[in-house]
Structure 1
Amino acid sequence: MGWHLGRLAAFDTETTGTDPHQARIVEAYLGQVGGGEDPLDIPPLLVNPGIEIPDEAAKIHGFTTEHVREHGMAAEQAIPRIATAVAATWKNGIPIIGHNARYDLTVLDAELVRHGEPPLIEWAGGSYGPVIDTFVISKYLDKWRRKVSAEQGAHVLKTCAAVFGIPWNDADAHGARYDALIAARVAWRMGTIAHLPRNQRPRIQAGRGDDRHLFDALAVPLSDLFASQRKWAAEQATSYQEWLRSPKAGDKQDAAAVISGAWPVEPAPTQQTLQEAS
């Protein structure tokens, strides 16, 4: 039986910013689907991060500082609860599914340390459990996919949903529950395609040759897929770093750019790393 037919744990967070080492969690969702069992659809956890929520972030997920102060659980209580749920999921052998899961797991790791708790690796028993990151897999399957528009990237969740035939509703997007479940559906679809005979698979790279053999790398045990994603994430980071350092980056060019290839959790930048990057 392929991993896509087993139990899958959909995970996502909404936060205060884009830097996973500085952002605070505002909402988190971890539900379970598939595996021949009823869905485990626990309501998202609303969190009071203890800081002001920037207007730019509030415009995306809709949660204001005033709202979370009135209705959210204090971060020092909420963060361990989220970590407990993630660790229990891995203990039961269930993969965490997320789109750019490295961001969400890194935010959780940073929040744990910020609140005086052990890092996520300790909650996980010394090693991270299986993770299926639809962002990393999408970039592996279609490295040269073009942006949909100036506002919609080539590998954002909305684009991936369209590529893999998953319905999308803009009105519901950017909530932790919605985004997590869409990512789980995209992962299921990726796995379904991978377990088809090669000649029955759809072509994902529109107009750029036959890419169907790439799905072979997904039709493997979870442990192998987990290891492959580590490799792909590192390769993708190296490629992006090289691009940023080159004239091809245009206005974004940065000769000293450093992009971490760590996955599924990015360690906090150390003073030595910062000095090397400067």
Structure 2
Amino acid sequence: MTWHLGRLAAFDTETTGIDVEADRIVTAAVYGLGGGEPVEPHDWFVNPGIAIPEDATKIHKITTEEAQLKGEPADDAADHIADVLAAYARDGATVVGHNVVYDLTLLDRELRRYGLATLQARLGLHPLHVIDTRVLDKHADQFRKRPSKTQGPQQLITLAQVYELPWDDEHAHGASYDALIAARVAHRIGTLAHTARADWPDRIKQVKRPRYGDLNGLSVAELHERQIEWAAEQAAGLQKHFRKSNPDAVVDGSWPIRPWAEPTTTDEPEEATA
């Protein structure tokens, strides 16, 4: 079975910000779907334990007060999310999301924050296979330009437009909605990869030097390994671009989970008092 036709665990989070090392989960969704089996929704509404900045609230519409009133404790939520993902992975499902390295890394940091077992620890020797629609799309259509000054070439809304999926602004930036759109994007990309170029839609035929064929016939494990390489290449290209204006710019190309570094402390030991 080719990679886009198997069982998927669509994963997304909405958070307090974009720093995976410091920010927290506010909502999360894991949806089991595909593979000829029923859709299985799992949703979490979380009290992150810190204030939700106004900029984050503008995106997902959740305030600190609402999260405190309705959200479950962050440690319980993180533990349950990881258990659900691990269960799907052990059953052979592939975790799919858009820029999912962010979500998986942030979940990893949440688990470590509360002294809980990481996703890798829960899986033991069982592999975690991941599909990242941002990595796949950027590899397949590497020269796409920004649709507008405010919309990037690999944003989820852009991919929905490119692959002719409906987009609802009211529900966008909700974890369940974004997870499901990412899964549908993955399926569309996989379908194109296994379709003869002559039968592509006209919008895809117009892509400059498309590389959908690189995704053809791969197993999930093979696709996972290719994405490790592609994510690193894409990060290196972005870093090169950023260094034109900032020589110190660094873009981490680790995928699908950024490595954990133990915090260092520079605190001097307290002096003994008489």
TM norm structure 1: 0.89
Instruction: Specify every segment of 5 or more residues in structure 2 that has no aligned partner in the other structure, as ranges.
Output: 265-274
Q: How is 1:60-209 mapped onto 2 (pairs within 5 angstroms)?
A: 60-126=59-125, 128-202=127-201, 207=206, 209=208
Aligned to 2:57: 58
Q: Pick which of 227-236 and 81-90 moved more.
A: 81-90
How large is the RMSD of aligned CA atoms in angstroms?
1.8
How many residues get paired? Answer: 264
Equivalent position to 1:262, from 243, 246, 254: 254
Distance 2:255 2:216 in 1: 17
Secondary structure (helix, strand or coil) at the match of 2:41 reads: coil
Instruction: Specify every segment of 5 or more residues in structure 1 that has no aligned partner in the other structure, as ranges.
Output: 247-252, 273-278
Distance 1:14 1:176 in 2: 6
Corresponding position: 1:10 with 2:10 = yes
Distance 1:208 1:138, change over 3 A: closer
Q: Contact conserved, 1:134 with 1:186, CA < 8 A, in 2? A: yes
Identity, in percent, stands at: 45
Secondary structure (helix, strand or coil) at the match of 2:246 reads: coil
Q: Contact conserved, 1:194 with 1:218, CA < 8 A, in 2? A: yes
Distance 1:117 1:4, change over 3 A: same
Q: Contact conserved, 1:145 with 1:205, CA < 8 A, in 2? A: no
Task: Answer with 1 or 2: which has the greater Rg.
Answer: 2
Distance 2:57 2:131 in 1: 28
Q: Contact conserved, 2:8 with 2:33, CA < 8 A, in 1? A: yes
Deviations 1:5-24 (A, max 9, x none): 22111110000001111110
TM norm structure 2: 0.91
Deviations 1:13-51 (A, max 9, x none): 000001111110000100111111111123x20010100
Q: Contact conserved, 1:21 with 1:268, CA < 8 A, in 2? A: no
Distance 1:105 1:204 in 2: 32
